[in-house]
Copies of this chain bind each other. A is one copy, B any other.
Amino acid sequence: MTRSTDLTTAELRVLKALWEVDRGTVADVRAELARRGQDLAYTTVMTLLGRLAAKAAVLVDREREPFVYRAAQRRESVLRDRLREFVREVFDGKADSLVLNLVADESLSHADLKAIERRIAEAEVHPPPPLEPITPTGKLPKKGRR
């Protein structure tokens, strides 16, 4: 079995838009995607959300129309799974090699590394507070419409 999970890139883009709005209708997600420069047909977004629902990646509240969607898992969790898979497939599981390449590629500076270390050191001292590293979290709710 190919793990019913495993999102495609198009699906991931939609899911990311959904995380951004936190919860929303097809129209909401579509608008968020548009804001990101992805102009898709209304039905395309619906198809994608449908596939995501089929993969249990998003939950749908069909109580009343229009249906409201929201991600089934936290962003961190999904991205981390993706990352793990990537490290395995491309870098043979060698995470350090990956980081070394990030640096060589200048995607990451020495300063960034230090900042990360500092971050970790703090986390190790204080009791693990939010549990999740503060990644690219989104702005505010920003619903609108309806």
Contact = CB atoms under 8 A, between A and B. Distances in A.
A102 B99 contact: yes
Main secondary structure of the interface of A (DSSP, over half): helix
Contacts of A86: 86, 90
B80 A108 contact: no
Interface residues of A, number: 43
A91 B102 CA distance: 13
16 contacts: A9-B89, A76-B101, A79-B90, A83-B98, A83-B102, A83-B107, A87-B102, A87-B107, A92-B136, A95-B112, A96-B116, A99-B99, A100-B135, A104-B132, A110-B120, A117-B117
Given A87-B102, A94-B136, A114-B117, 14 more contacts: A76-B101, A80-B101, A83-B90, A83-B102, A84-B105, A84-B107, A86-B86, A96-B115, A96-B116, A97-B136, A99-B112, A101-B133, A103-B133, A113-B113
Closest 5 CB pairs of A and B: A100-B133, A95-B107, A95-B108, A97-B135, A96-B112
